[in-house]
Copies of this chain bind each other. A is one copy, B any other.
Amino acid sequence: MQLLKDRILKDGKCIGTDILKVDSFLNHQIDVALVAEIGREFARLFAGLGVNKILTIEASGIPMAYATAHAMGDLPLVFAKKTTPNTMTDGVYSAEVKSFTKGTISHVIVNQNYLGPNDTVLLIDDFLAHGEAASGLAEICRKAGAKCVGLGAVIEKKHQGGAEKLRKQGLKVESLAVITSLADGKIEFDN
């Protein structure tokens, strides 16, 4: 998605070789027109797969997941909540998600009322790095008996390997900007 790649080059900031900050337009301050366009692009990429629910994880995935749900005909949107491990998990599906960036493990949960065998789910998130968050959400779908068809990621950091891992699980992965390197403060895309 050229509009997005241009914006990343203009406003993205590299921190070290692993972190790309896009908080001026994507995950702290949000460019709503850009995110609406992102939603339309995901709707196009995942059309015809019978998706009837969008699943993301709080908080920064919510805007693009909302935009996608809207573009796909106002589908219901569920966001998994982060909670501390060992919190009461009655009535919820849960999974562990490791954050390589923050060095933390969080529990993510979805109320059992909002995901089930009748759901064909598309995962949406802002970043795809090691694929931990998406794997956790896919695990929650399996526990709920829901079908998870794929992941739409706004920005993929290809060198961190998440997309390959998820495709091996049978997911269709579509990333709107695929970054191959952040070395030396320079953002490189795969095409």
Contacts and interface: CB of A to CB of B under 8 A. Distances in A.
B66 A35 contact: yes
Total copies of the chain: 2
Interface stretch (A23-31, A127-135, A137-145, A155-163): A23-31
A75 B111 contact: no
B76 A29 contact: yes
A34 to B, nearest CB: 9
A146 to B, nearest CB: 13
Contacts of A36: 70, 74
A100 interface: no
Contacts of A78: 28-30
A32 interface: yes
19 contacts: A24-B114, A28-B78, A28-B81, A29-B76, A29-B77, A29-B111, A30-B77, A31-B76, A32-B66, A32-B69, A32-B74, A33-B74, A35-B66, A36-B70, A36-B74, A58-B59, A59-B62, A62-B63, A62-B66
